[in-house]
Amino acid sequence: MTPTPGPLTSAALTVLATAMALTATREAAAAPEMTDAALSFCRMELAFADEFDDLSIAPRELGSARWIAHTPWGGDFGDAVFSDPGPGSPFTVRDGILAITASKDADGTWRSGLLASADSTGRGFGLRYGYFEARSKLPTGPGTWPAFWLNAIPDDTAADATMEVDILEYYGHARASYQAAYHLWSADPSREGGGLTTFAVPNGSLEADFHTYGAKVTPDHITFYLDRQPMWQVPTPASHRNRLMLLVNLALGSGFSISDTPNPTTMLVDYIRAYSFREPAPDCTDEQAAADDPP
């Protein structure tokens, strides 16, 4: 994730407002016609799921845990220190919901949290191709910088230009939009590249309720989704060879002031899931695929 600037209403709002919000979001992301953008869950199988009924986090080496609490490449970022699990950590679970809380410690240092599904040895979960999804309610306040993203698991046999996919980047001062992006990283600058887009949403709507944020990575395309509706599609870079790990974090700053950031402020995550692709069952029609969408 790189530091770049940058149901849809609460339950108290009317059904009409919800419909208007959905329309506004999709129209704001108008793009050329997409290919294979429908989500067909009867053509997928669940490969990873954390429903956050418990915490399974290790500091830096995965061991038997599902997550580590730092980026595997030692590149933590932002204006809050990413903290280890344990007493007083930023991670809590309650009623199947993960809370990542950014707060100041007794010395006035901001601390927050990041989760990654693989460690520096390459141990952990990742898929080269698949559908990746999180359901989250975003934190309130200027200076917040939550994200859900994918990054290449190191592999000496894979291509040099590795891929990062930013499914969600949100900037707390800009409550009427969020960003998605992809990046290619390489020791050879001529092989680097990527793209970024901004989606308009009703002001504050992503903080008011839970929404799903997803990306489907195939050999041909990367398709980005909000509430399982396709929003943006780009060609999959030919250099993509690595498995992609899952990451979620509540960072602060990204070049923006944190002087007015609420203390504390919290990102909620209902679940994080990843699906691999499979041969469809004989009865897997488009209608059946839509009916089989998991909750």
Phi, psi of 189 (to 5 degrees): -55, -25
Instruction: Report the Cα 142 to chain-centroid distance in Å.
Output: 20
Give the CA diameter of the chain: 61
In contact, 198 and 177? CB cutoff 8 Å: yes
In contact, 91 and 75? CB cutoff 8 Å: no
What are the tokens at 34? 């997409």
- How many Cβ atoms sit within 10 Å of the Cβ of residue 210? 17
pLDDT at 19: 33
pLDDT at 10: 32
Is the four-CA dihedral 56, 142, 111, 196 of positive or negative sign? positive
Distance CA(275)–CA(141), nearest Å, equals 33
Is the four-CA dihedral 15, 133, 163, 100 of positive or negative sign? positive
CATH 3.90.1170.50 is the classification of domain 15-279: no
What are the tokens at 288? 């059946």
Helix, strand, coil shares of the chain, percent, nearest 5, are 10, 40, 50
Q: How many helices (H) and strands (E) does the chain have?
A: 3, 18
* Selection from 139, 128, 153, 143 nearest residue 247 by Cα: 153
In contact, 93 and 85? CB cutoff 8 Å: no
Tokens 């410690």 sit on residue = 105
Distance CA(240)–CA(208), nearest Å, equals 36
What are the tokens at 238? 């030919």
What are the tokens at 80? 């809050």
List Cβ neighbours of 40 (8 Å cut-off, separation of 6 or more): 280, 284, 286, 289, 290, 292
pLDDT in tens, the chain (295 residues): 644 333 333 333 232 233 333 333 443 444 568 999 999 999 999 999 999 999 999 999 999 999 999 999 988 999 999 999 999 999 999 999 999 999 999 999 999 999 999 999 999 999 999 999 999 999 999 999 999 999 999 876 666 779 999 999 999 999 999 999 999 998 888 888 999 999 999 999 999 999 999 999 999 999 999 999 999 999 999 989 999 999 999 999 999 999 999 999 999 999 999 999 998 877 787 655 555 678 7
In contact, 69 and 81? CB cutoff 8 Å: no
* Selection from 254, 255, 252, 206 nearest residue 102 by Cα: 252
Q: Hey, where are the domains in the chain?
A: 15-279
pLDDT at 66: 98
What are the tokens at 239? 């250099």
